[in-house]
Chains A and B, each alone.
Chain A
């Protein structure tokens, strides 16, 4: 690679690079975070994703995309992976991968579903299940930069045990009055649960999100059905469609 490149230089291909698994964090019964080190990693923007490639002993390779859950300020970068039953890649990443292992990554990728503190706020995040991952990169970035831009997270999970990053989110909100986190638990609630216990509806959106006249930057990520519903309701609540950025995790994310 030449040391000096001009603007006229054609785009450099995104190379496959080796990622070393430094640590694996158990997030929930079905979700783990992989903390990775890559030798020369281009700094990502919160919300971007990477492609990963696994190679089997017989040479077979499989690629998948995963959102980056860590902020650009952290030394290691984190992917949060949910085990998809009958999947090909996620059961391996969640079940078999160990610290010290290596696989390939390529990225960062995507320039639309991204937010930095420079973009300002208020920041309005809506997540379903493991769709929290790219939104967590945004909240962690906001936290590391200590810029207390008003931010809200409405996060739908099946049960309290399925809430990913719960301790970290609770710690963030305790230290920061400009951050509001609302969990809604759709299937099972602990005894004495005072929070919402239903799928995200218009009332919940109106209550937990900023209003259109506050010009929020809105990011929605989760399963397709949730994202479709939430985006539709946000438009009905008179948010400008252009202000609503979505990322859908299809049922075959595997």
Chain B
């Protein structure tokens, strides 16, 4: 590949970021940009349900009150959007994937892949290995407050070590799959896995 041409007069205006915090090609933002492919669903918690599915079978289902009664955990983490912004030190509260499995009496995950199904017909696929051991949660609070609809409220997946499109907003179902299938953006040219540290933005990266 040819050498990158120099843009004379172009300079970094970036604030100092602690070493090792920012994946390649990212920049830090302090606000919270919104990206979604369609209208923001307005979901009332009274009408909200969440399910774990294995094939066609439902292995666990909760309404809002039942879900809120599950053991709560807090994750403080940096998040990285494929559109280049990163946000440091965000705090989320919700129910870890591990605790969901426990709640339905599963000793371990019954299949190696998950399809995340969200309101608005959005889907995204995540390996189970990236959700267990406290890595993933269904988040219902951001910085101590209910998550706003534009940011995925009432509940969104949080799997912060992957690009943030994997952390599906308005999540309603997690479906276990024996074989990996591609979700919405993964079918439209984006990377199937999406590791920000390997800069896996697009298919083939």
Contact = CB atoms under 8 A, between A and B. Distances in A.
A216 to B, nearest CB: 14
B163 to A, nearest CB: 13
A139 B37 CA distance: 20
A254 B29 CA distance: 10
B105 interface: no
A74 B131 CA distance: 46
Q: How large is the interface on A (under 10, 10 to 19, 20 to 34, 35 or more residues)?
A: 35 or more
Interface string B92-111: 00000000000000000000
B84 A64 contact: yes
B135 interface: no
A88 B4 contact: no
Contacts of A232: 39-40, 42
B204 A57 contact: no
Nearest to A88: B13
Contacts of B204: 10-14
Contact of A228 (B4, B150, B189): B150
A231 B120 CA distance: 13
Q: How large is the interface on B (under 10, 10 to 19, 20 to 34, 35 or more residues)?
A: 35 or more
Interface string A41-61: 000000000010111111011
Contacts of B201: 51
A54 B84 contact: no
B10 to A, nearest CB: 5
Contacts of B61: none
Question: Do most interface residues of chain B lie in helix, strand or loop, or is the interface mixed?
Answer: loop
A252 B31 contact: yes
A58 to B, nearest CB: 8
A102 B29 CA distance: 27
Interface string A203-238: 000000000000000000000100010011011000
A161 B94 CA distance: 48
A250 interface: yes
Interface string A99-113: 001111000011111
A242 interface: yes
A246 interface: yes
27 contacts: A13-B204, A14-B202, A55-B5, A55-B6, A57-B10, A61-B4, A92-B7, A97-B7, A103-B5, A112-B37, A112-B188, A224-B33, A224-B34, A228-B40, A228-B150, A232-B42, A241-B39, A242-B38, A242-B121, A246-B37, A246-B38, A248-B33, A248-B34, A248-B36, A250-B31, A250-B33, A251-B33
Interface of B: 1-2, 4-14, 25, 27, 29-31, 33-42, 83-85, 120-121, 150, 184-185, 187-189, 201-205
